[in-house]
Amino acid sequence: MAPNKTLCLSLLLAAAAAATLAAANGGKLSPAYYSTTCPKALPIVQSGVVAAIQKETRIGASLLRLHFHDCFVNGCEASILLDETASIATEKTAVPNQSVRGYDVIDDIKAELEEACPGVVSCADILTLAARDSAWMQLGGPSWEVDLGRKDSLTAGRAAVNTSIPPPTFNLTALAASFSAQGLSFRDLISLSGGHTIGVARCVSFRGHIYNDSDIDPSFAESLQQICPRSGSDGVLAPLDLKTPTHFDNCYYRNLLRKQGLLHSDQELFSGNSEADSIVRTYVNQPSVFFKDFVQGMIKMGNIKLLTGSQGEVRTDCRKVN
């Protein structure tokens, strides 16, 4: 299928997603972890995410990114949510996290959960569920079953943020190494990057790409240069997917074929590497494969370096340890 002749496809892939659910099970986690201790946990998280997206569509992408930034720094243990204290150096002020959003949504969901079942549902599980619900509930993406039972960290890891979160300037080799360090495969890198089918990025993040790179459509670069000058306007926003920025589909990959990836790191996924280029073309022509791979990647990412059992704690306030 020629990308310039085919409309972007958004699928309801319950069957494809269901085939991946077994991959989530393992360790001490279980989709039914809260079935008796907090049976309303999942509906409470879902309703909180839906309400937040209905208020501001962009927050769906923000919650997905919040989960990613948490998991890539010492694992999925909600350390990104901790505020600064005398003994905790918060991750929130590290440069890669300064544009991260969605903390208030997690706060609101946690408050409702504490009212329904105090001290039961961890902030780490809330982040994982909110990421799933953001892609699925309102934005047209796939769904999957989430194993639950994560515990929350007792500290944060600000020093690890700069070395763990891949910046938008990374080339393909560096991106692959960053994902491999988290136990994620090359294919996981390509599929999880598809989360950029929703959301926005700041001028400071794509300036170098639109002024200095050659692997970009000239007219696309020129249009972005109108809102993002060589200096100043760092906070001006542009959609990561120009075509359907608030809908979870495969347009992100179609953009790459046209050399219209917003970030340097986006376009690196389709820049002459035969394996990466082949995967991108597959996702363009078979969006069901993208959805399936994205689900598998999200399950794997959600299980990075977990705290379970007697490790960590269940915070009553996601912003501070008990």
Contact 128, 47 (CB under 8 A): no
Which residues are tagged catalytic? 69
Structure tokens at 63: 């919650």
Which residues fall in the annotated binding site for substrate? Answer: 166
Model pLDDT for residues 207-241, shown as the tens digit of each residue: 999 999 999 999 999 999 999 999 999 999 999 99
What confidence score (pLDDT) does residue 156 get?
A: 96
Q: Are 293 and 23 in contact (CB under 8 A)?
A: no
Q: What angle is formed at CA 166 by the lines to CA 160 and CA 169, rounded to 5 degrees?
A: 135
Tens place of pLDDT per residue across the chain (322 aa) = 444 444 454 433 332 332 333 333 334 899 999 999 999 999 999 999 999 999 999 999 999 999 999 999 999 999 999 999 999 999 999 999 999 999 999 999 999 999 999 999 999 999 999 999 998 866 788 889 999 999 999 999 999 999 999 999 999 999 999 999 999 999 999 999 999 999 999 999 999 999 999 999 999 999 999 999 999 999 999 999 988 998 999 999 999 999 999 999 999 999 999 999 999 999 999 999 999 999 999 999 999 999 999 999 999 999 999 9
Joined together, the tokens standing for residue 308 give 């379970």
Binding-site positions: 70, 73, 75, 79, 91, 166, 196-197, 241, 244, 249
Residue numbering of the annotated binding site for heme b: 196
